[in-house]
Structure 1
Amino acid sequence: MRKFTKLLHGDSAFYEAIVPTDLQESELRKAKNKIRDRLRVRIEAATKTKLGMEKTVAPRFRTQGSWAYRACVQPDHMPPQEMDWDYGVYLPVEAWEETGTPRVAAAAYFELVEALLGELAHEQGWRLGKDKNHCLRVHVAKWAHVDVALYAAPAEQFARVSDREIERVEKRAFDAATASLEQLNEASEISSQDWDDFEGMMVATRKGIWEPSDAEVIAGWFRDQLKIHGDQLQRVWRYVKAWRDHNWQEGGPTSVLLMLAICRHFSKQPGRDDKALAHVAQFIPAAVAGDYYEEGIDSEHNFNRLDATQRLDARNRAILLERALRESLTNVTQPKSAVVIALRGQLGQRIPNREADVETDSPADKVRETPARPVVTPVVKSSYAG
C-alpha cells in the first residue's frame, strides 16, 4: 500500500492551498458587516411603513453555508468562479396566514432589501446581481460575492433568542444604555447555539412567494455529524469541493449533495486523509447519478438538482476520481511521479508536485493509524492475608 496524505494535509499541502486566506476572510467579513449594518437600521425603519407590519421590529442575521460550516474553498478557476459568503436576514413575524406563510408580502420584502442593497452597492463600488430567485447576490470584489437570503420566522422564537442574548450581553458587562452601535450590530447576529431553536422558517423569493426553508435543519444536521467525526470530515468535504471546482468551471454537483454523501459514508482514518478521501470517493458516483434523499433532514426533498445528462457526466467524472485515488493507494508498481500526475489531474495543480510525499506503508503505520479503543478494567478479586 502507498500513502500520499502529506500531499493533502501538512506543510504547504493541498489543504493549505484551498483554504481561504486570512485576508480574504477579513475582506468578506467587512463586506458582510457593512451589509448587516445598513439592513439592520433600514429594514427596522420600514417594517411598518413599507412592509405593513403592526409594529416596528428589528431583523436578525446569520452567516450560513460554507462559512458557517468552515468549509469554504478557494475557487480553482477565477473567473468565472467566485468565493461566496451566504448571509441570512431573519424577520420576526407575529401575523401568519392559515396556510402557514407570513402576512408580510414576500415581494415587498424582497424589493425593499434589493433597493437597500442597490444603494449600498453604488456607494461601495460593488455590483448587484439580478439572476437569483432565492437570494440577492452582491458582488463585493472581482473574486467574491455575498448572497443575501431573506427569511421570516415566528416572532416568539426570536423572543427566546433575545432573552438569552441579553444574558450574554450582561455577562460581558454592558447593556443597551452603554452599548456602542458596533456592539448592537454584533448582537443582531444569531449564534449557532440559538439557531437550533428555530422552526418553520420561510424564505422570500424574487417571484414574490414564500417557500419553506431547510437551511436551519441542514446546518444542525451537519454540526451533529462534525461532533461525531471531527475535523477530518471537514477537510475531506473541502477536498471533494475542490475536485468539483476543478472539474466544473460552472455547475456540477452542489456542495450540499456532496456533503450529504460524504457524511453518510465517512470512515475516520487517523492521520490518513488520503484513505478517508479514497473511501468516500467510492460512493460519489452513485450519489450524483440519481435522486438523493436524507432521512435525517427531509425524506421527501431531492438534493440532486442535476438533470439526466448532467448526472451521467458527473457520474463518469466521479468514477475517474475514485479510480485515481484507489490506484494511487494500491498500485505500488507505478512510479511515484505517476501518483502525483494522477492526483493533479483530478484535484488540480494545487496538489504539490512532490514525489517525496508519496510513501510506502509500513507495519508501524498501521499501528499508529488504529484508533484507540477503551479497555475494560479487569476485576481484581479481594485477597486476604493470613
Structure 2
Amino acid sequence: MTYMNAHALFVGANVSASYHQAILLPDDKAEALRSDDKQLRAAMRSAAELVVKQGNVMAFASDAFRDQKQTAPSLELKFLLQGGMAYKTAVHPAFLPPQQCDRDTGVYVKTSYLDHDSPGIASEKYFALAERAIKPLCDLHGWKIVKKATCVRVELSPELHIDYPLYAIPDEEFIALAMAFADTTGIALNSAMDDMSNYFKRFPHLRIPTDRVMLAHRELGWIHSDPRALHDWFEDHFSRFSGLRRQCRYLKGWRDFTFDTGGPTSILLMVCAANAYRSGMVDAKDNRDDEAFLSIAKALPEMLRGDVLNPVLEERSVLNAWDDVERRRIISEIEQLEQHVDTALNGHFHSSITVERLRNALGGRVPNRPDLVKAHMSVPGEVSAPVKIAPVSALPQVRRTVSG
C-alpha cells in the first residue's frame, strides 16, 4: 500500500473529472473520423466494382498469376476497423498538432491465390487502385494522400488522419468462412461486415487462418500479417484483467505528453502492460489505478532493456528494435516517470505534492484536485519516522522530447 491514494485522480469520483476522462478521444473527433472513413471506403469499394464490371481485373494481377492462369483473380473489397479504436484504447493526443487523432481501417481484397502465400493481385497495383480511387474525394476536400510502407494514409487535417493497410485473403477461405458464419449466426457474412469485430469476439472460431492473410508492403511485396491474431490476444487479456485497458490508455497519454513525436509505439506499451499483469507484477485484485500504474512504470525499464516480442507471430518480431541511443533515451524517460509517480504516492502525506508530481509526470490533464487524494496515515510494513519531503525541483523534470 502506498502512503497516498490518488485513484480518484486517475479514474474519477462520481462527481469529478479525471485524467482518464481528459485523455479519452472526444466524440466529435471520433465521429469526424468515422464519417470520412465511410466516404473513403465507399470510393474504394466502387472503384473495385468498376474494375470487375469493365473486365479489367487481369490488369491488377501479379506477373506470376498472369503467366500461369487464364482467368482473372477475384477482386472484392471488405473493410475491418483495427488499431486503437478497435481495441478501445484510443486517446486524445496531448499536443495537436504535430500529434494527430487517428483511425485504422483494414482493407481486405478477397482474391485468388496462386499458391499458399501468393495473392493473385500484385501488391503495388493494389496500392495504386486504392490511391486512384480516393484521389478525387481527397482533391474535393483538400485531404492529403501519404504513401507509407504498409498503408495508405489520408491526412484529413493537421489533427486527423486515417490509415488503410491493405490485406489479401484467399477467396476459397472467404467462402468457407461465409458458410461457417451463416451456419453459426444465421446471418449472411456480407450483411455483417461493418460489425465484424463484435461477431469475431462472440465467435472466435470464425477465422481465416492467420498464415493465409497477407499484408501489402511497398518494398517487400506481400508479407504475412494478420491483425486479428493480435486483437484476439489483447481481448483475452482485457477480459482477464479489468483495469488493463485503462492502463494502456494512461501509458499512451504519458507517451503523447512526453514525446512530441516518436517514443514507444502503442502496441509496445500495450504488450508490456499486459505482460506486467500476466506475470503478477500488477495486483489485478487491487482496485487502485494509481498503484497499478506505478507497478507498470517500475516494470517497464527492465522489460525494455531486453527485446519485447510480438506475442502472436511465430517468427521472431521485436517491438522495441531501437538502436542503443534511442533505447537509453526512452528508458531514461520511463525511469523519470517511475520516480515521479513513486514520489507522488510515497514518502509523504501531502495531497498537494501528490497532485503536483503526477501533473509533472503526465501533464495538466491530471486534475488539480488535492481534495481527491487520500492519505494512509498507517502504511503496513513502515516504521513511523519523520517524513522528509523532497522538493519537486529536486526531481528530474519531465520535458517534451522528439525522436532523433
Q: TM-score per shorter chain, which class?
A: 0.7 to 0.9
Identify which of 344, 351, 373 aligns with 2:359.
344
After the TM superposition, which residues 326-345 of structure 1 pair with which residues of structure 2 at under 5 Å, given as runs?
Answer: 326-333=342-349, 335-345=350-360
- Residue 196 of structure 2 is matched in structure 1 by 190
SS at the partner of 2:76? coil
- The superposition leaves residues 351-383 of structure 1 with CA deviations (integer Å, 9 ceiling, x where unpaired) of 0111112211378xxxxxxxxxxxxxxxxxxxx
- Residue 258 of structure 1 is matched in structure 2 by 269
Rounded Cα–Cα distance in structure 1 between residues aligned with 2:220 and 2:326: 29
Displacement of 1:308: 1.6
- The superposition leaves residues 41-95 of structure 1 with CA deviations (integer Å, 9 ceiling, x where unpaired) of 2123325253237255421110111000000000001110001101100111222
1:37 maps onto 2:52 in alignment: no
After the TM superposition, which residues 166-177 of structure 1 pair with which residues of structure 2 at under 5 Å, given as runs?
Answer: none
- Residue 209 of structure 1 is matched in structure 2 by 221
The one-letter code sitting in structure 2 at the alignment partner of 1:337 is: S
The one-letter code sitting in structure 1 at the alignment partner of 2:118 is: T
After the TM superposition, which residues 133-152 of structure 1 pair with which residues of structure 2 at under 5 Å, given as runs?
Answer: 133-152=149-168
- The superposition leaves residues 26-45 of structure 1 with CA deviations (integer Å, 9 ceiling, x where unpaired) of 11111111111111221233
Question: Structure 1 length as normaliser, TM-score?
Answer: 0.83
Displacement of 1:207: 2.6
Displacement of 1:23: 1.5
1:21 maps onto 2:26 in alignment: yes
- The superposition leaves residues 129-180 of structure 1 with CA deviations (integer Å, 9 ceiling, x where unpaired) of 23x1110110123311000000012223322343366579966xxx89xxxx
Which 5+ residue runs of structure 1 have no aligned equivalent?
A: 177-182, 364-386
The one-letter code sitting in structure 2 at the alignment partner of 1:211 is: I
- Residue 382 of structure 1 is matched in structure 2 by none
- Residue 366 of structure 1 is matched in structure 2 by none
- Residue 385 of structure 2 is matched in structure 1 by none
- Residue 105 of structure 1 is matched in structure 2 by 122
Q: CA RMSD in A?
A: 2.6
1:51 maps onto 2:60 in alignment: yes
Displacement of 1:342: 1.2
Number of aligned residue pairs:
351
After the TM superposition, which residues 349-364 of structure 1 pair with which residues of structure 2 at under 5 Å, given as runs?
Answer: 349-361=364-376
Identity of aligned residues (%): 28
SS at the partner of 1:50? helix
Rounded Cα–Cα distance in structure 2 between residues aligned with 1:296 and 1:56: 29
- Residue 2 of structure 1 is matched in structure 2 by 4
SS at the partner of 1:79? coil
Quick check: 1:45–1:56 contact (8 Å CA) kept in 2? no
1:61 maps onto 2:87 in alignment: no
Which 5+ residue runs of structure 2 have no aligned equivalent?
A: 62-70, 379-404
Quick check: 1:129–1:136 contact (8 Å CA) kept in 2? yes
